[in-house]
Amino acid sequence: MAYSLDVIYGQQVIGQLTQRIDTGLLELSYSQQWQETGFAISPALMFEKQHGKAAAYNFLDNLLPEGEARKLLAQDLGVNEKQVFPQIKAIGSDLCGSFSFLSEQVSPSDEPIFRVIKEEELIHRLNNKEDIGLLQWDEKPRLSVAGVQDKLNVFVNEHDEIGLADGTLSSTYILKFERKDCVNLVINEYFCMRLSELVGLPTSEVTLKRFGKHPALLVKRFDRKYDVTSNRVLRKHVIDGCQALNLPRDYKYERNLGDGRDVKHIRDGASLEKSFSFCRQSSEPIANMQWLINWQLFNLLISNYDSHGKNISFFFGAGESVFTPAYDLVNVAMFDQFKHTLAMGMGDEFEPDTINAYQLADFADSCQLDRKIVSSMLNELATKVLKVLAENNIAPELEAAGIISDEEADYLNQVSKHIRKRARHLLGQTDEITLIEL
C-alpha cells in the first residue's frame, strides 16, 4: 500500500518515510526507541503530535534544490517536479541536516569514499555548463541543497583537495557559481558575507576561488564537521525558516502569490512577524530575537531584498532551536534582473526605497519589539558598517592576492558606495523611530 524509505541518523534507522500508493500522501513515523532517546526532525513532525497531511511534504520539499536545478533533477528521474518522494530517494544520502533517507535495501556504508575533482575537469564542466550541467557526476545526481544558484556539494580533505564524498563522508562545503545572466554575483556575495563577518555578525565562512575564468564561492557548511581521527563527517541537524513554520518552499516569500495588484494583499508566506513568533517559543528566545533583528537590519543596509524564509536556518535538536550563522547575503540592488521588492515586509511596506523611521517603527510594533532596542541596534550596526567600509580592506585584499581584476575591484567599490549610502540614510532615521505615531 505504500513506498518506503528508511530514515537514518548516523548508522541507525530511526524511522520510516512512506508515500501511500492510493493517495500519494507522505507520512513520517519514528521508531519507539528513537522516540525514547532521540529528537524530532522538525517542529511540525514532533513525536507526540498527530502530523498534518502536508507536514512531511513541506519538510522534504524544502530539502530539495530549487529553480532550474529542481527541474533538471525531476527530468533526470523522469518524474514531475512536485513528486518529492522519488527525488528524496535519489539524493537522500547527503541532504541538509543530520538525517538521510535511503531505500530499505540499502545499508549506510561504513567506508569513507572520496573522489577528487581535478581542476581541469571542473573547468571543463563550467566552460560547458549549458550543455553538460553540474547536476550529474559519475551518473549520479549530486546537488542536494536548496536555492536557485548553480551549486555543487563537495568534500574538502586535509590536503585542500575538492571532491565528491560518499559512505562515512559527505559534503562539507558548497561551491557556488555564477549564472550567465548574473555577472559579478559571486564577488558581490563574497563582499557582503565578509562585511557581515567584519561587523561581528555570526556568518558562514567563505573563500573566493577561481577555476579558469570562473569565479566561485566556497562556503563552509555549518551543519557538517569532518573528524580526521575517524575519517567520518559528523552532521548537525538544521531546519530552514520554512520548515520551522511548516510552510512549503513556494511560501518562502511573504506575498506567496506574488506582487501583482490583485494578490499583493495576500501574505500567507514566511514573514518577519511569524519568524519572531517562532523565536519566542525557541530554546533561546532573547538571543534568537536579537539575531533576527540584526539579520533583517543588515539586509536593509546591504540592500539584500531577497532575504526570504529559506535564507534563515536553525540548529534544531533535543531542546535546541538556535539560529545558524547567516548565509546568502547579496546586494540585490546591483542586479536589475532581480525583483526590487522586499521578500518579507517591514510592517506593511515592501518597497525598499521607502524604508524610513515610520516603516522601522511599524516593523518593531508589528513584530512586538521594543522600538528603543531596534533603534539602538540599527544605530550600532550602521555605524559599524560605515566604519568597516571606510577602512576599505575587502577588495584590496583580493586585489593583492590576484583573485580579482581591476574591473571587479571597481565593481566592488560601487557595491561599497551603494551600501554606504544606504547605511547613512538608515542611520539618519534612528532618532525618529521611538517618536513616530502609527
Beta bridge partners of 44: none
**CA–CA distances in Å: residue 179 to residues 126, 127, 149, 211:** 10, 12, 7, 15
Do the bridges between strand 140-141 and strand 26-30 make them parallel or antiparallel, or are there none, so unpaired? unpaired
In the sheet that 313-317 helps form, which strands lie side by side, from edge to edge? Answer: 238-240, 313-317, 320-323
Non-local CB neighbours of 26 within 8 Å, separated by 6+ positions: 17, 18, 19, 56, 57, 60, 84, 85
Q: Is 306 a catalytic residue?
A: yes
**CA–CA distances in Å: residue 255 to residues 30, 267, 292, 344:** 34, 5, 20, 8
From first CA to last CA, the distance across the chain in angstroms is 57
Q: Supply angle C-alpha 364, 366, 372, rounded to 5.
A: 20
**Residue-by-residue DSSP string for 123-174:** HHHHHTHHHH-SSEETTEE---S-SSS-EEEEEE-TT--EEEEEET----EE
Cell numbers found for residue 263: 494578490
Helices 285-302/272-280 angle, 10° precision: 160
CB 256 within 8 A of CB 243: no
* Alpha carbons 435 and 95: distance in angstroms, whole number: 47
**Can you list the alpha helix ranges (DSSP code H) found in 322-400?**
357-366, 371-391, 394-400
61, 94, 223, 306: which is the annotated catalytic residue?
306
Cell numbers found for residue 333: 540592488
Q: Measured in whole angstroms, how far is the alpha carbon of residue 148 from the centre of its chain?
A: 10
Non-local CB neighbours of 41 within 8 Å, separated by 6+ positions: 7, 28, 59, 97, 99, 237
* Residues designated as active site: 306
